[in-house]
Amino acid sequence: MSNFYETMLNNNLGRSLLKNVGLPTPIELKRYNPNQETYFEGKVLIGTSKGGALLNDLMRNLKEAKATVYFPAAAQTAADILAAADKAGVRAIGVETKKGMAEKFDALVFDASGFESGADLNQLYYFFNPVMRQLNSNGRVIVLGRPHMKAKTGEQAAAMRALEGFTRSVAKEISKKSANATSVYVEEGAEANMDSAFRFVISAKSAYMDGQVLTVSKADANTYPDWHKPLAGKVALVTGAARGIGEAIARTLARDGAKVVGLDIPPAEADLSRVMAEIGGEVLLADISSKEAPQQISDKLKELGGGDVIVHNAGVTRDKMLANMPEHWWNMTIDINLLAEEHINDALIANKTINKGASIICVSSMNGIAGQVGQTNYAASKAGVIGYVQYMAPELAKKGITINAVAPGFIETQMTDAIPFMTREVGRRLNSLSQGGKPVDVAETIAFFGNPASNGVSGNVVRVCGQSLVGA
């Protein structure tokens, strides 16, 4: 949000004035504080389906949080929840869940992995219906399940896919609280790899990621890095790192312990040098669309022992209606936003510059999903990024490398500050959270993908858009 809007929202008179003129008064999002002791602190209500297979791993994660765990005492699966809690050494408190109950919760988590058919969906109703009003501001709704394309029957596939419709709708219903909802699908056999995904979605790091779906697949080995410094000893490349979202990515990865190589074009040298000096990073000046760039990048990363996190953030827009678009604008946009990423990845892999266990993260865009007037070139390039990521995920898995994409929505930057006031305010409101995101929201999601503990997370395309009202 703009400074003006934030100022108005943070005092009673301002909020009253905004309400009187009919403007939204969203609750400010709580974002991650590096000084906090653990990834989550608060009250969690846990539910599970009969045969839920993720309870043990769920409790194991909550054991490492400052969480107070509750469960519906009258649920048929109460004994299962207690058994999982006892195994993990977690104290679980049984409560009578009913409308108007005194207890409030910071997270509502349901393990639906045991669903076998659509008939089981009524369990979502029984768990959530009495307690929806008990969710605190900036709370989390998380539904765990199995990937529907890995289901054993058509009936089970239907039930699992239904979880997405449920959480996307819940996300819109709880939006006035600046709360969000997420589905996390955990492939059978990948239970030990769910930690990073679960800890991310329940934490303040996922503040602007709303109504989304994450899939966790099996990985060769699981790892449990320090939550505060998960990238300690790792080398990260960030293209377009001089300002805006790229700068936020570089700073966030450095905060998490990475040695950052910031890349940008020569005209951005002053800004890039300033950012890298502040975070202890390395400067690399290059045009990513040039023939020389892939080798330049490869050589630089080899000097540092190879790359562990590769972030393709650099991009351009050259907007014009297709009928009026110059050919060189089309070619430039495709070359920089799509082809350059492919060429750089090819070179890094061929030169064995990417270390085993590395992560590649590509920045797509909401417009690559929904399309936009005057952006046929840009939307094509960003949709191409998504196709590339989804195809390459199983190919790179053979090399122990993950690849994912982030699709930002309306993110507050210097560029959006230049948009006319009314147009800017409309853009901010076209999402469930009724506010724009911040560059750090994109950066946190990228840092999650780059976390070594996310080695079971690959081929995902996540929108960081506050659940934009346009697009899928």
For the chain, what are the domain ranges?
Answer: 23-216, 235-464
| pLDDT higher at 421 or 268 | 268
Alpha-carbon torsion (429, 434, 435, 437), positive or negative: negative
Report, as an integer, the average pLDDT of 116-141.
98
Burial of 460 (0-12, 13-18, 19+ CB in 10 A): buried
Beta carbons of 174 and 395 less than 8 angstroms apart: no
To the query of whether residue 378 is one of the catalytic residues in this protein, the response is: yes
Distance CA 51, CA 144 (A): 13
Sheet holding 354-363, edge to edge: 282-285, 259-264, 235-239, 307-312, 354-363, 402-408, 461-464
User: Exposed (0-12), middle (13-18) or buried (19+): which is 15, by Cβ within 10 Å?
Assistant: middle
For residues 25 and 242, the model is more confident at 242
Sign of CA dihedral 412, 364, 167, 252: negative
Q: How far apart are CA 84 and CA 89, in angstroms?
A: 9
**Strand (E) or helix (H) holding 10:** none
| Residue pLDDT, tens place only, 380-406 | 999 999 999 999 999 999 999 999 999
Two domains, one topology: 23-216 and 235-464: yes
CB 239 within 8 A of CB 217: no
CATH code, 235-464:
3.40.50.720
Q: What is the pLDDT of residue 11?
A: 67
Topology annotation, domain 23-216 = Rossmann fold (3.40.50)
Range 54-75 average pLDDT: 96
Residue 3 has pLDDT above 60, yes or no: no
pLDDT value for 101: 95
Q: What is the mean pLDDT of the chain?
A: 93
Q: Which of 185, 378, 388, 391 is catalytic?
A: 378
Share of the chain above pLDDT 90, in %: 83
List all residues 6 or more positions away from 2 whose beta carbon is below 8 Å from its beta carbon.
412, 417, 424
